[in-house]
Structure 1
């Protein structure tokens, strides 16, 4: 997965800091995923099927084509990390469910993905609360 670098036209120090943070986050996510023999997409889907999810829900949430989700799920299924089961409300669709092996692997992945914890450790309690509030406020405007 190509990770973007800070664009040359980032107008403000805030924009540059945001790009740098996102870049570091993405690189750490990719590193943690590869440590567990997963792609970033595999880790992302595996994390989102903690509860039963349809393929359509996953595709919409991840803003990607349903065929991409189908391929990712097939690869996760081949590793016995997820399985498909009939949707009890609509037998035409399937839910994706993490297996116990998938739960174990994702738990290991989460432990190895230290970036958010390490970044937050640089802040005191008040700064963490302030950053949380500011990020939530910024996301409401996006």
Structure 2
């Protein structure tokens, strides 16, 4: 049997799809509680890790740079994001979270209980194995 026809593989794929759908549903709900759209929350989450140019944000979110510009404009008008020159290339503008943006991103992250609660029921070894398996599925080198 090919992996596609294997009933276990089909079941795992369906379970992953269910987890992803529930995660996005919870993420959209959490974003709305912070008066953000899901897209705004995702941009703020990305920027909480490091400032980045619009094109890189667009590539990460798999959308058009013009969409990101509008999202960053709205976040900037709320004082959550600012544009600043890239120290490596002053022609490039980086979007970066403000202190309020970092705090909002942290509150948003803290409010996402959907994944945290079920994962808390797994042992440390089970969570480590799940992390490794997901990294392998994504073509990443497990840490």
TM (norm. structure 1) is 0.85
Residue 11 (structure 2) aligned to one of 10, 13, 16: 13
Q: How many residue pairs end up in the alignment?
A: 131
Provide the rounded CA distance (Å) in 1 between the counterparts of 2:96 and 2:127. 34
The match for 1:40 is: 38
Cα deviation for residue 91 of structure 1 reads 2.6
Deviation at 1:128, TM superposition (A): 1.4
- The alpha-carbon deviation at position 83 of structure 1 amounts to 0.6
Residues 41-80 of structure 1: pairs in structure 2 closer than 5 A: 41-50=39-48, 51-80=50-79
Question: How much has 1:116 moved relative to structure 2?
Answer: 2.2
Partner residue in 2 for 1:104: 103
Q: Does 1:114 align with 2:113?
A: yes
Say whether residues 1:95 and 2:73 are aligned partners: no
Taking only aligned residues, the RMSD between alpha carbons, in angstroms, comes to 1.6
Per-residue deviation, 1:108: 0.9
Instruction: Name structure 1 gaps, 5 residues minimum.
Output: 1-10
TM-score between both structures, scaled by the size of structure 2? 0.84
Show structure 1 runs of 4+ deviating over 4 A: none
